[in-house]
Amino acid sequence: GMFLTLLYALFTPAMLKSLHVRPELHAQASSYIYIRGAIAWAALFQSTALSVLLATKDAWTPLRILAIAAALNVCGDYLLCVAPFRLGCAGASAATAGATLVSSFLLMQTLRRKKLLVTPVIPNFFRTAFTSGKQKWLELLT
């Protein structure tokens, strides 16, 4: 997810050029891609969490959470695109990003409540490398 976010951040102009987007649309298209790209990690988490819940034969919880997200997206679109803010493409992507973040949070809470959320473990290699590196610096300084 973070890799995708980085790709969107770095390569949006190249993507727009390769898609032959008209120059007068670049500003709006860029704002949409940058905002949506910033939360690509949340969209991937949302997709994975939905799959986990569906694999456990729970279709109702994801349905309710996505209904909440859809309602938030519609309200956000109205507030940010139509009235009062009129932000255009940036408003549409911000509304969608907000709804995605809320649904990802709700899905994470559901997975945690059902004890289906895996806690990542930092490999010993990184802890050892950091500790030995710190000791070497202390030896050099003394």
Residuewise pLDDT in 10s, the chain (142 residues) = 889 999 999 999 999 999 999 999 999 999 999 999 999 999 999 999 999 999 999 999 999 999 999 999 999 999 999 999 999 999 999 999 999 999 999 999 999 999 999 876 666 655 555 555 556 656 666 5
Q: Which domain holds residue 132?
A: 2-141
Sign for the CA dihedral angle at 80, 82, 83, 88 comes to: positive
Q: What one-character DSSP code corresponds to residue 80?
A: I
**Core vs surface per residue 6-43: b (16+ CB within 10 A) or e:** eebeeebeebbeeeeeeeeeeebbbbbbebbbebbbbb
Domain count, the chain: 1
* 40-55 and 60-77 helices, crossing angle to 10°: 150
- pTM greater than 0.95 (yes/no): no
